[in-house]
Structure 1
Amino acid sequence: MSMMNRFRTALLAATASLSLQSAYGAETVVLKGPVEIAPEAGASRQVLSECNLAASVEGAIRAALEQRNEALGKQASDGEAILTAQIVRINGMGGGGWTGPKSIAVRVALTGNGKSDVSVRISRATRNIMGMVSGTCPLLELAGRYVAEDVAKWLDAPSTAKLRSQVHAAESAPTTSEAASQ
């Protein structure tokens, strides 16, 4: 690919990103429907039955959207942009921090007001550091909260680019009850 073709491609991508930013960047966004776990997400039955990840990820995304909408001075109303989310990958077997990092990937899609649809897959992971060990469910819930934060950031300039996974050290992952109260 020539230098000129690369420049054109980059310019087209930047233009598309700017048009999406102006289309959604300052608009109220609401989460539609429940967050579901894709059948091919890869979680064990034990993790699925004990962790209730769909509810915790949904709660985290709703809280992040409420904070974002309040910061914009907006309230949910007719004509807002709609966000849908599905957990597409869960990596983490039982055994807490002793059994390695835990991660979640969520595919989110944004639609609204006749604007173009845009979607992205956002992945986040946690890991145990310096002997601080937490359970599998709290580590996965923490990864879910990191995903929710990334969703809110992505909404300021949505693009179809896949966001890189980032590993966050789980210094003190909250317990399941702490996560539910937040």
Structure 2
Amino acid sequence: MKTILTAGLLAITSTAFAADKVLLELPVTYTADASVVQPVREQCEIEDKLTRHVGTAMAKLNRSGPGTVASAAEAGDASVLKIQISHILGVGGGAWSGPKAVTVYATLTDKDGTQRKTRINRWSVGGFWGGFKGTCSIIERCTVAIGKDLQRWVRDASYVVKDEGPPKEGAPVDGEKAPAEPAASDDKASPSATPPASAVAL
């Protein structure tokens, strides 16, 4: 009897899980009033980074098939996740021009039209080797973190995404251990010494 009940529960769970697939609707876009430095928007291809990392997160959550869909009309019984970029903090110069941040709004719509919404803001200073990374690479770390956030948020309706404040200069983010504290003489250049975004490689 126990075996039959266990098998039945497993079958029900598997069916429910299969019906709970979530697909990222493409394309990822910017909000109409999005705040972003134009060279960063053009060169860093942040929409593509979010598509890749959030789409991969959804595919892992689904356990089979793709993690993206061209339109909600093609999603079938899957729930549809739509994200829009509202703010990008960052200019050229990599870690030397300060922390970078990505803010997105996400809407999850199930097949019955029920919606959940959230806002996610993630920062990065580039991790252990941040001083050697460009602006686009650091921004990509933010998109990876957003993918992980959304993977948890879509599968757990009770999960509240906490807003992430700016890191202290040189502080570790993204769950990494901090490198040794730099000496006072290693302070970064002042903002006034930082060349404009258009003059710095991304």
Q: CA deviation at 1:62?
A: 0.4
CA distance in 2, matches of 1:100, 1:36: 25
CA distance in 1, matches of 2:107, 2:137: 26
Point out 4+ residue stretches in structure 1 off by more than 6 angstroms.
Answer: none
Q: 1:116 to 1:97 in 2, by over 3 A?
A: same
**CA deviation vs aligned residue, 1:78-136 (integer Å, no higher than 9, x gap):** 21111111111111111100011001011110112215211101111101466741100
CA distance in 2, matches of 1:60, 1:169: 15
1:40 equivalent in structure 2: 33
Q: 1:152 to 1:170 in 2, by over 3 A?
A: closer
Partners of 1:127 and 1:170 within 8 A in 2 = no
Q: CA deviation at 1:153?
A: 0.7
Q: CA deviation at 1:29?
A: 0.3
Q: 1:130 to 1:29 in 2, by over 3 A?
A: closer
Paired letter, 1:158: A
Unaligned runs of 5+ in 2: 1-15, 67-74, 168-172, 177-202
Partners of 2:54 and 2:148 within 8 A in 1 = yes
1:155 partnered with 2:154: yes
Q: Secondary structure at the match of 1:106?
A: strand
Aligned counterparts, 1:25-174, within 5 A: 27-70=20-63, 75=65, 78-128=76-126, 132-133=130-131, 134-158=133-157, 161=160, 163-165=162-164, 168=173
Q: Secondary structure at the match of 1:41?
A: strand
CA distance in 1, matches of 2:127, 2:55: 29
Instruction: Report the number of matched residues.
Output: 146
* Identity value in percent: 26
Paired letter, 1:146: A
Paired letter, 1:67: K
Bigger Rg, structure 1 or 2:
2
Unaligned runs of 5+ in 1: 1-22, 172-182
**CA deviation vs aligned residue, 1:39-80 (integer Å, no higher than 9, x gap):** 42221111011101011111111000001111xxx5567211
Paired letter, 2:98: G
CA distance in 1, matches of 2:115, 2:136: 32
CA distance in 2, matches of 1:141, 1:131: 14
> What's the RMSD between the two structures over aligned residues?
2.7
Q: 1:153 to 1:46 in 2, by over 3 A?
A: same
Paired letter, 1:112: D
CA distance in 2, matches of 1:162, 1:130: 25
